[in-house]
A and B are shown apart, each in its own frame.
Chain A
Amino acid sequence: MNSEQIIFYILSFWFVASSLAMIFSRNAAKAVLFLVLAFFSAASIWILLEAEFLAITLILVYVGAVMVLFLFVIKMLNIDKSTLRAKFTGYLPLGLIVAVIIVAEMSLVLGANQFGLDVFSSPARHGADYSNITVLAMQLYTTYVYPFELAAVLLLIAIIAAITLVHRNETSRKKQSISEQVNVQAKDRVRLVSITSPSKEDK
């Protein structure tokens, strides 16, 4: 067993362990933190696969933005913990059986006979002058330029949708009422108060 395999198995162990801890943790904030660990392990595995740009993107975008958004919402909603402890294990046996069967079937299909090293040999590592970002950018801005722009439009739609969903009720919106502004009278806005100023003789 060489060093690459050892690193892979260590990272896989943490990936699987933190994923399991994520789905079985009762506290949603702890689940988010376990998911962060899972994402870090996944990013490390991607670096092992020479996808450096995507690994950094996974950490920056997912851990930096999406997971913080999750934590934000969890802290904001203040979920009652007693309701989380209730119905939890109702579907656990069936789910575990289904999952084990799926993993067994996948292992049969994806085993070493079909995708082993003698079928797909491990490619040679790139040298120090190889830039993953350059290669991806060359593809992204030539072949995939239309999907790239569509992704930008999709993000814009997501922003608009999220804002309009949350700002639905009238009270949280600031708007202008023209008729009210035109019909306003001076006595509505200005109140004249007569104050008796103290004279100098009182001192």
Chain B
Amino acid sequence: MVSLSDYLILSSVIFCIGLVGIFVNRANIITLLMCIELILVAVNTNFVAFSHFLGNEAGQIFVFFILTVAAAEVAIGLAILTLLFRNRGSISVDVTNSLKG
């Protein structure tokens, strides 16, 4: 039988992979958005695993809402990214430093 700790450790590994992706990728913001998606899926796996093992459906409802918010976030993020590319001609993280003091 697969225990709850297996699922939790798997999702923490995926979470850290997403985190490393955010650290490592300085080239484009699209990859950063994808890493955020990966982190959200890891968190959702946590919710689903606890929902299954505790016999409580509220966790799955939360995953449903997280999916909704993530879809909205991606839509707005990609719109901002398109604007950034139109104004700067690049989507590198190093180019987007106009807020730097």
Contact A46 B8 (CB under 8 A): no
Q: A94-B23, A168-B83 are in contact. Are A35 and B37 (CB under 8 A)?
A: yes
Contact B19 A102 (CB under 8 A): yes
Contact B94 A51 (CB under 8 A): no
Residues from chain A with a CB closer than 8 A to the CB of B82 are 73, 76-77, 166
Contact B1 A2 (CB under 8 A): yes
Count residues of A near B (Cβ-Cβ below 8 Å).
Answer: 93
Contact B38 A140 (CB under 8 A): no
Contact A115 B5 (CB under 8 A): yes
Contact B52 A58 (CB under 8 A): no
Q: A28-B31, A57-B67, A70-B34 are in contact. Are A98 and B23 (CB under 8 A)?
A: yes
CB A62 to nearest CB in B, in angstroms, measures 7
- Once A and B bind, how many residue pairs between them come within 8 Å at the CB atom? 238
CB A65 to nearest CB in B, in angstroms, measures 7
Interface size class, chain B: 35 or more
Task: Indicate if B2 sits at the interface (CB-CB under 8 A).
Answer: yes
Which DSSP category, helix, strand, loop or mixed, fits chain A's interface?
A: helix
Contact A19 B94 (CB under 8 A): no
Task: Indicate if A5 sits at the interface (CB-CB under 8 A).
Answer: yes
Could you say which of B35, B44, B75 contacts A162, with CB atoms under 8 Å apart? B75
The 0/1 profile, CB within 8 Å of A marked 1, for residues 11-34 of chain B is: 011111111110111111011011
Contact A51 B18 (CB under 8 A): no
Residue of B nearest to A166 (CB): B79
